[in-house]
Amino acid sequence: MIKKEKTTGYLFESNNDDYEKLREEYLTLARRIGQYDYWYHSKDDPKVSDAEYDVLKRRLLTLAREYQLGSRHVLEKVGAEPSKKFEKVKHAFPMFTLSNVFSEEDVEEFLIRIKKFLNLDKEEEVDIWAEPKVDGLSCSLRYEKGNLALALTRGDKITGENVTRNIRTILDVPQKLPLNTPEIVEVRGEIYIKLTDFEKLNQKQKKEGKEPFSNPRNAAAGSVRQLDPSVTASRPLNFFAYSFGEMSEEVAKTQKDVRVKLNDWGFSLPHPVALCKSEQDLLAYYYKLLKRRLELSYEIDGAVYKVNDIKLQERLGVVSSRPRWATAHKFPAERAITLLTKIDIQVGRTGALTPVARLEPITVGGVVVSNATLHNEDEIRRKDVRVGDMVVVQRAGDVIPQIVEVLKDKRKGNPAVFEFPDHCPVCNSLAIREGDDVVLRCTGGLICEAQAVERLKHFVSRLAFDIEGLGDKIIKNFWEEGLIRSPVDIFTLEERNKSTLTPIRAKEGWGDLSEKNLFDSINNRREIELNRFIYALGIRQIGEATAKRLASRYSTLETLKKSMIAAKDHESEAYADLISIDDIGPAMADDLIGFFAEGHNLEILDGLVKHVTVKPYERQQSVKSPLTGKTVVFTGKLVKFSRQEAKARAESLGAKVAGSVSKKTDYVIAGEDSGSKLKKAQELGVTVLNEDEWLELIKG
Ligand code: AMP
C-alpha cells in the first residue's frame, strides 16, 4: 500500500512484503549511488566504471518509476525542494520550428525552392536526409565539459524554460558524454512517451481518480513541466536526439554525420532513416514510414526532410523561425464523424465574427475534439452546415479542427438554414464586410467588450508581453470588474491595488501569495523587446514575423511611431520606405498607418512607455561588417547567387534590403539587365556595385 506524502514523494505502510523488499533494495541502491556520486563529483575519483554506474542508476530509476519508490532520492539528486516556477533562459541558438508540406506537389516545390535559392539547375541533385517526426516536445540539452549542465524547453524559440532537474530523471538522457567530446555540446531532440507506457500511465491516472491525458504528447509535455521533479521521475519519459545546437567544435559535415556522432555518444535515435537524392526517394521513404507507423512503439506525425550538407544548410538559413533547409511532411489528417449541436459566433480582437461549431465530443487522432472552426459565413453556406447535422471533422497536427463536410443523407427532417447575424453578438454594433473581405466585422471598436478582451489576451500572450499570471479567465474577470480596461491598466494595477478597499487578495480564489505572484509576473515584463511590443499591439495583419521586420527596420519605438505618422502621406519618403520592406504591401501599410493615426492608440502608446521600457531592436547576429546598418537594393539578374540568397546574406551581415532606390540607399547591386533602379541610382549618385564588386565587399 502506498500513501502519498505532500511534496517529497511516497511513504509506505509496512504491510506489504514485496514493497518492503523493493524499498530495501531501493534505499541500499540510493545510498550506494550517493556515495559514488560523492567520489565522482567531489573527489574526482570514480569508484566504478561509467557503464556499471549506468546499470545501477537505471535500476534505481526503474524502481522509482515502476513502484513509485524513488522520489526522495531523485529529489536529493536533482536538488531538494520543488521549484516555484521555471527559470527562463535564452537559447545559445534559437530553437526553430518546421514548415509543413502535405502533398506530393508540396514536396516537389520544397526541392525546387531549395535549388532555386542555391542557384542550382532543376536537374542537379541535392542530398536530403529523411527521418521520422516524433510527436513529443522538443528539448535542448547543453553539455559543458561532458556533463549535462542545462536542459531547456523550446519556449518561444529564443528563450526556454530551465527543466534540467526534471530532464535528469529521464533514462536515455546521458548525464555524461564520453571523453574527448567538445567542451560545449548542445543536443536537440524530442521527449516522448511510448504508446504502451501511455496506456499504463492513463490507467494509473484513472485509478487515482485523476484526469487521463488526451494523448502521449500532452502527457510528455505535462510531465516535463512539473515543478516537482519527483513527479517527472515517476513518468515514463524517453528522449530521441536529432540535431545539434551550439557546438564549440565542428564534429559533423552532414546530417548523417550528426546521427553517427549522437549514436557514438550514447543517445537513442528514431528509426527508420534514409538518405534521399530525389523527390521519388523522398516519397518512397514517406510511404514506407506511413506503413510502418502503426508498428512503431511511439507516435510520429510525419517525416522530416533536411538538406544533408550542413554548409548548404547554413547558406539556406532560416526565415520566420523556420529553416529553409528542412520541412515536415505531415501524415494525412485524421477524421471522425460526430453531431453538430450548436453554432456560436466568436468575436476576435480585430472584430472578426467567426462561427464556431460545437460538437458532441469525439476523439480524432488521439485528441478529444468538441469545437471546430467554420471560418466564415460563406463557408457555412457553401457546405450547407446546419445545427443537428452529422459532420466529418478533421484534425491535422496542431491546426484547429475543421468541418470537412456534412453527411446530408443522415440529415433528419429539414433543419433551419443558419442565419448569420448582421450585428455583433456581444456589443450589438452593426457587423459589416469591408471591400471584398469574406469576414464580417463588428464596427463597435472601442465599445465592444469582446474585442477589448481579446486584444488584452493577445497583449499578454506568449509571443507578446508573455505575462503568465494573466490568464484568459483573469483578463475577462478583471475587465468585467473594471480593473483592467486597457493595456496601460495592467501596469498601474499594483499601485491602484495599494489604495483600494477591495484588494485583489481579498477576492474569491485569491490570497496574499497569488496576488504577489501576479504582480511579480507583471513586473518581470516591464522591459520588452521592440518586436514583441509591436506584435503585442495587435495591429491587423501584423504577425510575429512582420513585427520583427518592422523592429529591424525602425530599431526604436520612437522612430517607428514618427515614421508611421509621416507615412500617412502616400507621397512621402516614409511611405516609400515602409512599402519597400519585404512582405509589406499597401494593405498592410494602411493597417499600420491607420493604427498610428488613431488618437486613442497613441494615448495607449504614451501611457505604456511611462511604465514599460521598450528595448531598441538588436539584430540576432550583431555582426560587424561593411554592410552593418547600410541600406542595399538589388536589381537585375545575379549569376553566382539567387536573388533570394543574396538578400538573405546581406541581411545576415546587418544590412537592410530595400525594394526601391532612394537618397537613403547606400549600395545598389546591379546584375545583368538592370533597368530603372540602376538609372535612379545613377541620378541620385548612389554607389553602384556589380556582382563581383559586391562579393569582394562581403568577402571578409
Ligand atoms: P511543429 O511543432 O509542428 O512546428 O514541428 C517542429 C517540431 O518537430 C520541432 O520543433 C521538433 O520538436 C519536432 N520534431 C520531431 N522530430 C523531429 C526531427 N526528426 N527533426 C526535427 N524536428 C523534429
Q: What is the CATH number of the domain that holds 558?
A: 1.10.150.20
Q: Is the per-residue pLDDT at 12 higher than 50?
A: no
Q: Is the per-residue pLDDT at 18 higher than 90?
A: no
pLDDT value at residue 658: 82
Residues 676 and 547 occupy one common structural domain: no
Average pLDDT over residues 242-254: 96
pLDDT value at residue 81: 44
Q: Are 619 and 533 in contact (CB under 8 A)?
A: no
Lowest mean pLDDT among 23-32, 151-160, 273-282: 23-32
| Range of the structural domain that residue 363 is part of | 3-9+16-74+333-434
Q: Specify the residue for cell string 554592410.
A: 627
Ligand 1 pocket residue status of 323, Cβ below 6 Å: no
Residues 590 and 669 occupy one common structural domain: no
Ligand 1 pocket residue status of 242, Cβ below 6 Å: yes
Residues 265 and 326 occupy one common structural domain: yes
Where a domain ends, among 434, 468, 493? 434
Hey, is 50 helix, strand or coil?
helix
Residues 155 and 273 occupy one common structural domain: yes
In a domain, 450, yes or no: no
Residues 428 and 318 occupy one common structural domain: no
pLDDT value at residue 68: 55
Distance CA 60, CA 552 (A): 51
Residues 342 and 399 occupy one common structural domain: yes
122 vs 80: which has the higher pLDDT: 122
In a domain, 385, yes or no: yes
Distance CA 490, CA 485 (A): 8
pLDDT value at residue 321: 81
Ligand 1 pocket residue status of 397, Cβ below 6 Å: yes
Q: Is the per-residue pLDDT at 9 higher than 50?
A: no
Distance CA 89, CA 168 (A): 17
In a domain, 301, yes or no: yes
Which of 96, 133, 330, when mutated, tests ligand 1's pocket best, judged by the most ligand atoms within 8 Å of its CB? 133
Residues 186 and 322 occupy one common structural domain: yes
In a domain, 386, yes or no: yes
Residues 108 and 25 occupy one common structural domain: no
Q: In terms of C-beta density within 10 A (0-12 exposed, 13-18 middle, 19 or more buried), how is residue 288 classed?
A: middle
| Catalytic residue (choose from 84, 115, 133, 330) | 133
Q: Is-catalytic flag, 133?
A: yes
List, for residues 421-463, the tens digit of each pLDDT value: 999 999 999 999 988 888 999 998 888 999 999 999 999 998 8
Number of folded domains that form the chain: 4
Band of pLDDT at residue 73, cut at 50, 70 and 90: very low
In a domain, 119, yes or no: yes
Average pLDDT over residues 158-165: 92
Distance CA 227, CA 42 (A): 27
pLDDT value at residue 162: 94
Output helix, strand, coil percentages for the chain, rounded to the nearest 5.
40, 25, 40
The phi-psi region of residue 321 (left if phi > 0; otherwise alpha if psi is between -120 and 50; otherwise beta) is: left
Q: Compute φ and ψ for 157, nearest 5 degrees.
A: 85, -35
| Domain CATH code at residue 252 | 3.30.470.30
Taking CA atoms only, the protein residue closest to ligand 1 atom 22 is 133
Residues 257 and 169 occupy one common structural domain: yes
pLDDT value at residue 21: 73
Residues 423 and 317 occupy one common structural domain: no
Q: Is the per-residue pLDDT at 361 higher than 90?
A: yes
pLDDT value at residue 20: 66
Q: Specify the residue for cell string 553517427.
A: 260
| Domain CATH code at residue 677 | 3.40.50.10190
Residues 27 and 148 occupy one common structural domain: no
In a domain, 509, yes or no: no
Where a domain ends, among 402, 434, 466? 434
In a domain, 39, yes or no: yes
Q: Which long-range contacts (CB under 8 A, 24 or more apart) does 150-155 make?
A: 150/89, 152/89, 152/91, 152/95, 153/86, 153/224, 153/225, 154/95, 155/88, 155/91, 155/95
Ligand 1 pocket residue status of 304, Cβ below 6 Å: yes
Taking CA atoms only, the protein residue closest to ligand 1 atom 16 is 133
pLDDT value at residue 351: 93
| Domain CATH code at residue 48 | 2.40.50.140
Residues 120 and 166 occupy one common structural domain: yes
Average pLDDT over residues 39-63: 70
Which of 93, 101, 134, when mutated, tests ligand 1's pocket best, judged by the most ligand atoms within 8 Å of its CB? 134
Where a domain ends, among 434, 466, 487? 434
* Ligand 1: centre distance to CA 412 (Å): 44
Ligand 1 pocket residue status of 133, Cβ below 6 Å: yes
Candidates 451, 466, 456; CA nearest to 489 is: 456
Average pLDDT over residues 137-162: 93
